[in-house]
Amino acid sequence: KRPFGAPDKSLARKVGSVGVVGAGLMASQLALLFVRRLKVPVTLTDLDQARVDKGVQYVHDEIDKLLLKGRLSPDAGNRLKALVRGSTDKAAFAGADVVIEAVFEDLAVKKQVLAELEAVVPETCVLLTNTSSLSVSDMAADLEHPERVAGFHFFNPVSVLPLVEVVKASKTDDATLATVFQLGKALKKTCVLAEDAPAFIVNRLLTRMMGEVVTAVDEGSDLHVADDALAPLGLPMSPFLLLNLVGPAIALHVSQTLHGAFPDRFGVSENLGRLVAAGKPAIWSYDSSGRPFVDEETAAL
Ligand code: 3HC
């Protein structure tokens, strides 16, 4: 059965080589997923060798975990590791069929990345963005071939969560969309077609839920009480744990995008803003027995 909104699969192009721009949290998880499911060469790039090495190391370590869990044979693990390459030069994408970017959430940075990609990839290469909330149409606006650009938005942890939002930008053509849907199927994901609207579908809902809990704390509720209050709903994770997983900086960025688009409907938490400005990667830490606590510095912010 054709997924909702997917064009005829006969239009899809074959994917024999993948590039990932960025080697951070989402990018390295994407590289792992692509190599594991497609078993094709996957090249990761980032600004410097240290970041590239960290991203490649993450993929190798996760493959080792799969070996330990008995889900891969040592031979298969070694073959997968050999397919993952790192580079600081986007020229490494010269033969790629698909490149996905998962760099910093800044429209200007992403536009620059797509322009650099367009200069090196083959004409048939599909260019994807894992943006959480930015306009894919704006990102592709200055390109020579905006028709080959689409959003492909994954959720953290990438290996576990089945959903991916496929974002059709104003100029995305059917061959690109069909390739993306076929890719999603090969990755064993459930793809939904999303409009190119601020924060698409899922992050609007998540931001609404997390935003309400964060606002309750901004207004004086105890952080743990506010977080625990939702536990009986049976969510897989409490709102603040989820905020920690997503990362306060990304959560803040999504809420700022939504506030910019719908100022009456979405606010931006002052506490979250202070936390991110202070460079805090999480809202709480864990003590040696695994109990969450808010450190004094964070509490004082
Ligand atoms: N990274 C990678 N894998 C992870 C992980 C992580 N941070 N946390 C857990 N996992 C894996 C484990 O290795 C395990 O894999 P296995 O079954 O293959 O061995 C599997 O997840 C289950 O882990 P656990 O049994 O330890 O834990 P849980 O059953 O409690 O599940 C969870 C953990 C999958 C994280 C679950 O709590 C969950 O689904 N939480 C909600 C996550 C969510 O909503 N994410 C969306 C965030 S929004 C986003 O990403 C979009 C962005 O644009 C903001």
On the question of pLDDT at 280 being above 80, the answer is yes
Torsion (CA) 237, 150, 142, 16 in degrees, nearest 10? 110
Q: What would the pLDDT profile of 198-234 be if each residue is shown by its tens digit? A: 999 999 999 999 888 888 888 988 888 888 888 888 8
pLDDT at 200: 97
Whether residue 111 is predicted with pLDDT greater than 90 in this model: the reply is yes
Check residues 59 and 241 and name the one with the higher pLDDT.
59
Give the model's pLDDT for residue 196: 97
Atom of ligand 1 nearest to the CA of 131: 53
> Are 224 and 278 within 8 A, CB to CB?
no
Could you give the 3-state DSSP secondary structure of residue 58? Answer: helix
- Best mutation site among 160, 209, 250, 272 for ligand 1, i.e. most ligand atoms within 8 A of its Cβ? 160
What's the pLDDT at 107?
97
Separation of CA 106 and ligand 1 centre (Å): 26
Instruction: Summarize the confidence of residues 110-117 as an average pLDDT.
Output: 98
CA-based nearest residue to 163, from 139, 193, 133: 193
Report how far Cα 176 is from the mean position of its chain's Cα atoms.
19
Closest CA to 87 of 57, 30, 43: 43
Closest by Cα among 85, 105, 70 to 34:
85
- Closest residue by Cα to atom 5, ligand 1, is 157
Q: Residue 7's pLDDT is what?
A: 85
Task: Indicate the pLDDT class of residue 1, thresholds 50, 70 and 90.
Answer: low
What are the structure tokens assigned to 79, written together?
Answer: 């073959």
Model confidence at 301: pLDDT above 80: no
CA atoms within 13 A on the CB side of 240: 24
Tell me what the mean pLDDT of segment 164-173 comes to: 97
Ligand 1 center–CA 95 separation, angstroms:
33
d(CA 187, CA 171): 25
**Using a 6 Å cutoff on CB, does residue 159 contact ligand 1?**
yes
Mean pLDDT of the chain: 93
Cβ within 8 Å of residue 143, ≥6 positions away: 114, 115, 118, 127, 149
Q: Cβ atoms within 10 A of the Cβ of 178, count? A: 20
* Residue 96 binned pLDDT confidence (cut-offs 50, 70, 90): very high
For β-strands 98-101 and 126-129, DSSP reports them as parallel
In words, the CATH class of domain 9-195 is alpha beta
Name the one residue in this structure whose structure tokens are 């909330």: 133
Length of the chain: 301
**CATH number for the 202-300 domain, one of 3.40.47.10, 1.10.1040.10, 3.30.420.40, 1.20.120.450?**
1.10.1040.10
Distance from the alpha carbon of residue 245 to the mean position of ligand 1, in angstroms: 9
- Asked if the model's pLDDT at residue 290 lies above 90, the reply is no
Average pLDDT over residues 11-25: 96
> How many Å lie between the centroid of ligand 1 and the Cα of residue 171?
34
Nearest to 17 by CA among 92, 79, 73: 92
Residue 157 Cβ inside 6 Å of ligand 1? The answer reads yes
pTM above threshold 0.90: yes
Residue 126 CA to residue 140 CA, distance in Å, equals 12
Of 165, 212, 219, 297, the active-site residue reads 165
Which residue's CA is minimally distant from atom 7 of ligand 1?
Answer: 157
Q: 2 pLDDT band (50/70/90 cuts)?
A: low
The residue ranges of every structural domain in the chain are 9-195, 202-300
- Runs of H (alpha helix) within the chain: 25-38, 49-68, 74-83, 107-120, 136-140, 174-186, 202-218, 223-228, 239-246, 248-261, 270-277, 296-300
pLDDT single digits (tens) 121-148? 999 999 999 999 999 999 999 999 999 9
CA trace torsion 157, 253, 143, 186 (10° rounding): 10
Q: 247 CB less than 6 Å from ligand 1?
A: no
Catalytic-residue membership of 219:
no
Q: Would you place residue 263 in the very low, low, confident or very high pLDDT band (cuts 50, 70, 90)?
A: very high
Please, which pLDDT band fits residue 266 given cuts at 50, 70 and 90?
very high
Distance 118 CA to ligand 1 centre (A): 34
What is the pLDDT, as a whole number, of residue 226?
Answer: 84
- Whether the per-residue pLDDT at 75 is higher than 80: the answer is yes
CB atoms under 10 Å from CB of 233, counted, come to: 8
